Chain A
Amino acid sequence: MTGRRAWATLLYAALAALYVLHNDLWLWNDRRLVLGLPIGLAYHLGFCVVTSVVLALLVVLAWPPWSTR
């Protein structure tokens, strides 16, 4: 498996995991405040940041093969 392919597999798996984690049923009824924000809001704010990091890795390490120019 080439380096690009290995990274792509790993990062696609990470994105699939993120999709599952988006459905945070375990926080559905939780009203605690974290960093001044309700935990359900803080979680999804963190979700945006983590998604951005994974996508940054994706464009650096596993750019689509058809995208040559």
Chain B
Amino acid sequence: MITLSIIGVYFLAVLLIGGFSHRLFAGTSEDYFVANRSLGPALLLLNLFGANMTAFAVLGASGEAYSSGIGVFALMASSSAMVIPLVFYFVGTRVWELGKRRGYVSPVQFFRERYGSDSLGLLLFVVLNALLIPYLLIGLAGGGITLAQITHGVIPKWLGSLLIVLVVLAYVAYGGMRGAILVNGFQALLLLVLGGLACWGVVHQLGGLEAAFAKVGAAHPELLARAGKIRPLQLLTYTFIPLSVGMFPHIFIQWLTARSSRAFRLPVAVYPLCIAIVWLPSVLLGVLARIDFPTPAGAAANTMLVRMVERHTPGVLVGLLAAALCAAIMNSFDHQVLAVSTMFTHDIVHHYGYRDRLSERARVLVGRLFVVGILALTFLLSLVFDPSLFKLGVWCFTGFAALFPILLAALFWPRSTKQGVAAAVLAVAALWSYLVVTEWRSPDYTLGGTGILPVALVLAVSAAALVVVSLATRPPDAATLAIFFPAAGAAEEEEAAAGAVAGGAMPAGAATAGGALPAGAAAAGAAAAGGALQAGAAAGAAAAAGAEPLASRGGVRPEPPAV
């Protein structure tokens, strides 16, 4: 009863925050999809962290620790603690800069313009959604199962999933990204505080850390080390999995919500500590569960965290833990739903069907309709969801991680081409499908039991396809380089200008317009400002290639209210 009441109060609090967020809504599509790029450092940290912490990860880590011991922390937590902030530092800040300058709201939009290819955009749209939608379904089905377990069936699985869908529908459809951001800030705080509190309660009841681990060591010493449980190659290759964060559409879109690139400083620096705060209790409770539940539990291992808290702490803490788990479920689920809706609205409806014919209001309405449709479809699929499909989750991570080289190339390698990127995406799709089929029954998710995770192979093939095909195809034109790599564009242009001067054909306006700036940068800057610079071949080509920022096409952008 206490648990149900706390879950009820929690849902009510989420709805109130979602309702409040609507009061800040500016009514524009940029506000609906990227919260007018107004997020400060603290909310950016909480949202980036919350979106990565699914309930299934927290419960799954606890279940893994119950079976495999303390090595799970090194495998899943400390590898993410280093890799994910570095992705924010190198990639997130660069994506934000380009997104702000060019008005991007989705990853597909960025890739389409970067490589000047609608077909590549469409290919990525299909692949990203094919990887994200199963992940979304796993989250919802897992949420329903978790609520059923924690309430001992009082809330059945279908009702748990329905409650999550309805609450998310209320604040995402109503408040869009701004609603999701404010709710998730609250939810991530809840997760950070309550996990530690529940763990402290259990450890205290077991007589303190030392006494508890002495008991585990006496009965199951193998759980206190990694030998025999985790292989060194597994630990090494697991560090590739967190690269997936760069290609998650919902994380890419969240980067675009930042107020400035400097808002990334706090998330980069503090993310490892947040990881430790949430994962340590999860792994500790999983290992300590062997004291009370000594027989290996098989599939029920994922319930160990809940069972330990139930056994050792007062009912109110169980209720609070249930609220924290709901928070973990919803703060990734809502951003994923919004990401799919954003891609459908911008990359399909707006780009192909109603370019320049869709008002701001209509675009928000389409986005809301997609949110409703995606939630309804996901809920219906969750009703027939087979729990054996849960392991598809780690394969979705594999697919996203293997696509990471294309993002890196798009941002930092001017010589990469659309053919190279397409080859990498197709190679990932083909190899990923093959491995899912052949390795599905492998008990430890390693290649032929070697300890090497499949992600290492798919990532290597993806990078090789990208490099080889890019080098074998025609380099991108100067116009593209001028937009995305002003320095590289300038170098090419200088070469061209030198040739032109030698031939006596330099356009008169070039020197004046370029001034002290590199010519490519000047061209890109002027084009971005909507000017009509005619500063030579590269600048003209840049304008022709669509150098006008996407967001400015709908007219004046209103000033955002700060979040």
Taking Cβ atoms with an 8 Å cutoff, the residues of A that contact B are 15, 18-19, 22-25, 27-31, 33, 35-38, 40-41, 44-45, 47-49, 51-52, 55-56, 58-60, 63-64, 66-69
Contacts and interface: CB of A to CB of B under 8 A. Distances in A.
20 contacts: A19-B82, A22-B74, A22-B235, A30-B225, A33-B224, A40-B71, A40-B224, A40-B225, A41-B70, A44-B73, A44-B74, A47-B82, A49-B272, A52-B270, A55-B86, A66-B94, A67-B97, A67-B261, A69-B100, A69-B260
Contacts of B221: 31
A23 B235 contact: yes
A32 to B, nearest CB: 9
A25 B268 contact: no
Interface in B214-270: 214, 217, 221, 224-227, 232, 235-236, 239, 260-262, 264-265, 268-270
Given A22-B235, A31-B224, A51-B81, A41 B97 contact: no
A28 B232 contact: yes
Interface residues of B, number: 48
Contacts of B209: 35-37
Contact of B225 (A31, A35, A64, A66): A31
A55 B268 contact: yes
User: Which 8 A-B residue pairings sit nearest by Cβ, starting from the closest?
Assistant: A36-B209, A67-B261, A56-B269, A48-B276, A38-B224, A29-B227, A52-B272, A44-B78
A69 B97 contact: yes
A21 B336 CA distance: 34
B81 A48 contact: yes
Contacts of A35: 209
B36 interface: no
Which of B214, B225, B235 has the most chain A CB within a 10 Å cutoff?
B225
B225 A58 contact: no
Contacts of A31: 217, 221, 224-225
B467 interface: no
B270 A41 contact: no
A69 B37 CA distance: 13
B283 interface: yes
Contacts of B337: none
Contacts of B217: 31, 33
B94 A64 contact: yes
What's the dominant secondary structure at chain A's contact region? helix
B520 interface: no
Contact of B93 (A22, A60, A67): A67
A64 B93 contact: yes
Interface string B75-116: 001110110011001100110110010000000000000000
A45 to B, nearest CB: 6
Contact of B213 (A38, A44, A48): A38
Given A40-B225, A55-B89, A55-B268, A15 B82 contact: yes
B232 A23 contact: yes
B356 interface: no
Contacts of A68: 97, 261
A6 B370 CA distance: 49
A59 B268 contact: yes
